[in-house]
Chain A
Amino acid sequence: MANRTKRIATMFAAMMVGTSASLAGGPVDDKLVIDGELEINTRVPAPEGHPFDELISGWHYRTPETRDLEADSFQNPGMLYVERGEEIWNTVDGAAGKSCASCHEDAETFLKGLGASYPKWNEEAGKPFNIELQINQCREQNMQAEPYKFDADDQKALTTYIKHQSLGMPMHVDLSEGEMQDWWEKGKELYYTRTGQLNLACATCHENYNGNYIRADHLSQGNVNGFPTYRLKQSAMVSLHNRFRGCIRDTRAAFPPAFSDDLMALEVYVTWRGTGLDIETPAVRQ
């Protein structure tokens, strides 16, 4: 309880300081070391064929207070979701009377690095799967449980727990499997397509203007290595497709459903754009 109160108080302080941030260009020069132990690769050289030379985590674009929250796993409010996710992992649910742990016994070994390799081609479904879709498939087929509704608290917590098991491991999508390359192409096309009344593409903001303030927001490269991320503004965990939809909505466009082909293609492509950046889940963002 005391921990929780302290966490919330720190969060609030960070938000307040965050709102008075002054203009400053570019990513900050700093190192992310979690609990003084685990160094995270937040700046890495870009893969071949990438529009940037260097890939930079969104962490470098946040205020010192927000960065500190992420560097301290005791203060990081997202860690509550990791704990909750671990509980879910071990809890029996559904008609088959099983938990995730019933089949995937040694969670630490099974999950290590797994989240860093998603999205991943799923042959049976004939499309790329992210962690959320894989969870739902195991719930339906292996547990005879209801699939989670998009952004259900348990979906976010379990996804956060799974991704967290790859903390500090480099993100990598395997484009050689199945039709991944086609999905990558489709995602790329979407990334450069202008949407909405404001007529903006992902690239307009995240490729052309990263490092600049747009109103109170310091634009980053829009990388996905911290998802699900804890957002101070919403005091909640935010899933990747929620973030995508928010960015699309901000162009005054209708946004596609979560896990639709469009957003899965975007996830494949945008994950590739962050190739080699370490997983930070749960990252803290403003």
Chain B
Amino acid sequence: MFKGATQFSLPAAFAGLAILAASAAAAGTVAPDSVPIEDMEMSQSLTGVPGDPLAGREAFADRKKGNCLACHANADLSAQLFHGEVGPVLDGAADRWSEAQLRAIVVNSKDVFGEQTIMPGFYTLKVGINVDEKFAGKTILSAQEVEDVVAYLLTLKEN
């Protein structure tokens, strides 16, 4: 049933906002921080284009992108060295969280776990001070990369 969520078309208002707000965001994508996370969920796809779990697996491991292994162990990527232990092991994440919840966690974990979490928000501009100019005004992941990572997380099932 969550699969359906990625096919919802964008409400016109959000599409307009996206074009106005983020030069980095391609037309048709939801701009950072324009859709609120409510009750730990974000059901709307950021792009309307279904996520690609294989691309998501790469972005997840890539140190310059998700770098999720810095903090999370994940048996599916055991071929890669050095899984961190700062966050929970992500095996079976899809059994614990819905697609809408996983999107919310990746987009801005602070809106799910609280302000104090160490986990970065990957599609938000509500970040720390003095951002290096290389990264200023940019999100860590692009909208499509978020969708890809979410699609990948949905493959992490134990049951």
Residues of A that sit less than 8 Å from B by CB: 19, 23, 25, 193-201, 204-205, 208-209, 212-216, 219, 249, 251-254
Contact of B128 among A194, A208, A209, A212 (CB under 8 A): A194
Nearest first, the 10 closest Cβ-Cβ pairs linking A and B are A194-B128, A216-B82, A195-B128, A199-B128, A197-B135, A215-B70, A253-B130, A199-B127, A198-B120, A196-B128
CB-CB nearest in chain A for B121: A199
Find out whether the CB atom of A23 lies under 8 angstroms from the CB atom of B138: no
Q: Which of B48-83 contact A (CB under 8 A)?
A: 67, 69-71, 73, 81-83
- What residues of chain B lie closer than 8 Å to A209, measured between beta carbons? 86, 118
Q: How many interface contacts (CB-CB < 8 Å) are there between A and B?
A: 85
Find out whether the CB atom of B85 lies under 8 angstroms from the CB atom of A205: no
- In the assembled complex, 9 residue pairs joining A and B whose CB atoms fall closer than 8 Å, in A order, are A194-B128, A196-B131, A197-B135, A199-B121, A201-B128, A209-B86, A213-B82, A252-B132, A253-B129
Contact of A214 among B71, B81, B135, B138 (CB under 8 A): B71
Say whether B36 faces chain A, with CB atoms less than 8 Å apart: no
**Residues of B within 8 Å of A, CB-based: how many?**
28
Residues of B that sit less than 8 Å from A by CB: 67, 69-71, 73, 81-86, 110, 116, 118, 120-121, 126-135, 138, 140
**Distance in angstroms between the alpha carbons of A197 and B132 in the assembled complex:** 8
- What residues of chain A lie closer than 8 Å to B121, measured between beta carbons? 199
**Distance in angstroms between the alpha carbons of A198 and B67 in the assembled complex:** 11
Find out whether the CB atom of A195 lies under 8 angstroms from the CB atom of B130: yes
Find out whether the CB atom of A214 lies under 8 angstroms from the CB atom of B132: no
- What residues of chain B lie closer than 8 Å to A215, measured between beta carbons? 67, 69-71, 82-84
- What residues of chain B lie closer than 8 Å to A252, measured between beta carbons? 131-132, 134-135
Find out whether the CB atom of B118 lies under 8 angstroms from the CB atom of A253: no
> Given the interface contacts A212-B84, A212-B85, does A200 sit within 8 Å of B118 by beta carbon?
yes
- What residues of chain B lie closer than 8 Å to A199, measured between beta carbons? 110, 120-121, 126-128
Q: Supply 17 further A-B pairs (C-beta < 8 A) apart from A196-B131, A205-B118, A214-B70.
A: A193-B128, A193-B129, A195-B128, A196-B128, A196-B135, A198-B140, A199-B126, A199-B128, A201-B128, A209-B118, A212-B85, A212-B86, A214-B84, A215-B69, A216-B82, A252-B135, A253-B132
